Structure 1
Amino acid sequence: MNVSRLGGPTLSLFRIVTGLLFTLHGLSSIFGLFGGNPMTGTAIPFGAWPGWWAALIQLVCGVLVLAGLFTRPAALLASGSMAYAYFVVHQPEGLLPQHNGGELAALFCWSFLLVATLGPGAWALDTLLARRRVDTPSASVAEPSPVSV
């Protein structure tokens, strides 16, 4: 089996799982689902800074990355939000992620940076839409219609 043929599907599966986990984290923080926010066990109050806004980014970017739609910008925003979470929330509590509770933020940050860099993979709406754009001739390239006299 050709290992290079596995790259696109493997990247897609990585993107899908990472997006799903991020989406679930956002759902739990915004709506209190699945046991609520990991820190409080409840939903974060509407509009509370920065937690509710971070959860909104988790929900929206998680769904976009999961679907593979606007993947690169969504993954870049998600990565940046997790970098912010790590350095502003976790890092002041201790130098190492094992001591400051920032392991998940660091893993999400680097995972989303990988997706933003490498793209969505073979199984993504972005890939499907790009393929359709290539297959559909534009009006300027189409053959002119015959003129009857």
Structure 2
Amino acid sequence: MSARLDSAQPYAIGLFRIVVGLLFACHGAASLFGVLGGAVGTDGGTVDAGAWPGWYAAVIQLVGGSLVLLGLGTRAAAFIASGSMAYAYFKVHQPEALWPMENGGEASAMFCWAFLLLIFTGSGAFGLDQLFGKRTARERAQEPTSRKATVSA
């Protein structure tokens, strides 16, 4: 049973990455463009362009979430996204109260830890990282032997 579950791990990670990236990108789109209910914590509007930290957070959410969703530069995008959510939790939510249930920081805390996990696991299955990685490995395997020796020297 354990071996079957282990073989499904890349697919579970891939699906996890897709869902987390989509949800994160939706937060950014809501804040920047007023779609999906508008900016979180407002009456459905958008954050002002260049406003610190809301606009920058929304850009990180939209771009980082989209990259994670696609599995493109997953580890780097997850690193930046995790850090932005740690900042959001400790600078915005935690000063209001200690526990996430009290300070409204559950989403920030969950996104922070979810992206931290993706830094270490990578994109899993279904990611563009995997597609480009396989193509690169295939191209390396098809290189002439003399070129391989020159590159590795």
Q: How far does residue 137 in structure 1 lie from its aligned partner after superposition?
A: 3.0
Q: Could you say which residue in structure 1 is the equivalent of 2:7?
A: 5
1: distance between equivalents of 2:87 and 2:29?
20
**Identical pairs, percent:** 53
Report what 1:147 is aligned to: none
TM-score by length of 2: 0.90
Aligned residue in 2 for 1:114: 117
Counterparts of 1:103-142 in structure 2, within 5 Å, are 103-137=106-140, 141-142=143-144
Q: Secondary structure at the match of 1:35?
A: coil
Match for residue 61 of structure 2 among 58, 61, 66:
58
1:5, distance to aligned residue in structure 2 (A): 1.1
Deviation at 1:38, TM superposition (A): 1.6
**Among 48, 51, 58, the residue aligned to 1:48:** 51
**Which ranges of structure 2 fall in alignment gaps of 5 or more residues?**
147-153
Q: Please list the CA deviations of residues 79-115 of structure 1 after superposition, one character each: whole Å capped at 9, or x if unmatched.
A: 0000000000000000000000000000000000001
Q: CA RMSD in A?
A: 1.4
Which residue of the other structure, out of 72, 85, 90, is the alignment partner of 1:87? 90
Answer with 38-47 or 84-93: which moved more: 38-47
Q: 1:34 matched to which residue of 2?
A: 36
Larger Rg: 1
Q: Which amino acid aligns with 2:22?
A: L
1:12-27 superposed matches below 5 A: 12-27=14-29
Counterpart of 1:31, as a letter, is F
1:77 aligns with 2:97: no
Residues of 1 paired with 2:122 and 2:69: CA distance? 12
- Per-residue deviation, 1:69: 0.2
1:68 is aligned to 71
Aligned length: 143
SS across alignment from 1:137: helix
Q: Give the C-alpha shift of residue 123 in structure 1.
A: 1.3
Gaps of at least 5 residues in structure 1 are 145-149
* 1:143 CA displacement: 5.5
List 4+ stretches of structure 1 deviating above 2 A: none
**Letter of the structure 2 residue corresponding to residue 23 of structure 1:** A
d(CA) in 2 for partners of 1:21 and 1:86?
17
